[in-house]
Structure 1
Amino acid sequence: MTRLSVNINKIATLRNARGGNMPNVCKMATDCERFGAEGITVHPRPDERHIRYQDVLDLKKIVTTEFNIEGYPNKEFIDLVLSIKPEQVTLVPDPPEALTSNAGWDTIKNKAFLIEVISKFKAAGIRTSIFVDTQLKNVEGAKATGTDRVELYTEPFATDFPSDPKEAVRLFTIAAEKAKELGLGVNAGHDLSLENLKFFNENVPDLAEVSIGHALISDALYMGMEKTIQMYLQQLK
């Protein structure tokens, strides 16, 4: 079964809006695991507008499932990840000031940079994944960087899904097949939801993991976190 990693950035956003420690990010991570989540994802940014660097240090002490840290690999991020040594690091190409991730890596143009960064993480025993779109040249380029996995950037799928699900997923199926052929694991994330997750999972072969935050946390406002996580897990069976 495809693993579900819950991105808890939005919990930190809510906390930061008021100050203090409500809601408690660490307690929420523990609760997500207790409710069935198979991983916790965070995306710390330099301005700490949601997850703070201290949160990452605190979470390392209590996360018992897979800990996945994603972000743009500037020096501060690299140093943080190497000090934490999570099970997985996911590299995204968006600059620190970006509102949210909105594209995959050009793995051809950034080959030398990615090789340098990934080699540091792999030397520390950290599994690496890099954010890519469905262009086969970028999937093939990812293989040349030494990464273990690719994470398919799924916003285009989510946008096109309501009008034509089969066409929306077609290129993702092809990209996943190419990744498997190259010996790369496949993750996915961005705008996956209860409406489109089951279809995506059924049509993308050998999907190892999905990372979901915004939609899942939004659903939990209506249904509660435990029920929401169980509903997402059901879509992945």
Structure 2
Amino acid sequence: MRIGKLTLSKFIRGLIGTRLIDSIEVYYIPETNTFYPIISKSGCSTVKVDIIRRYKPDFTSKFPEIHQVDPALETNGKVLRKRFYSFKKYRKFSCGKVAHLVIRNPYERIYSCFLDVVTNKNVMYEDPSGLTNFFGIKSEISFDEFLKKVVKLPDYLSDRHFRSQSFYLQKGVEEVLGRIEVTLLENYNKKTGEKASKLNTNNKKIPQEILQKLKKSNAFNKRFSKDIKMYQDIKKD
């Protein structure tokens, strides 16, 4: 029996937290021992293009094709893509390395994810496919219903688009890392004076009504408390 691309046994392992329903993807740069967790809805397409261009300046790509690109082929092995379906293996990989997180305003991020759902721009749970219907996250869903479902799903069951950004530092990862660097998406590449090529963006700002609803939502603020704190701490600096 299968659920989407998952066998029943793997799906059950996901439910009990021993296997990630949606994998962790990182771009790893061996020469600096640095890796970038690919955090969906936090400029991940832009980050991928930018990292590849450090070693291949004329590289171009579009969304969603960028997610099919093998960075090792484009950079002669200077940038490696790795995937982890076990948090234990991800933690082992992280040991002694530098983790660079590009994070986004948590309120804007969840609204952007909602827009992708209702417009069918991104197919939730594309890998493994079929879980969209299982969790009832469909294009006709209202924002209130979407929010109710998202806040109830723990990170190990969440699609990569709406699991927490701090997820990549949890379960002992922060303790084993050599160093952690965090950049706000709105400041990405400003340090070098370069202009990042922005992929998969829209000009729709979060409506004030929804923003206020999120700020007043105890469930949302509890579910994404670490994200909110991390974002606010960096914003202050």
Higher strand proportion: 1
TM-score interval (norm. to shorter): under 0.3
**TM-score, with length taken from structure 1:** 0.27
**TM-score, with length taken from structure 2:** 0.27
Instruction: Return the index of the structure with the highest Cα Rg.
Output: 2
Q: Return the structure number with greater relative CO, CA threshold 8 A, min gap 6.
A: 2
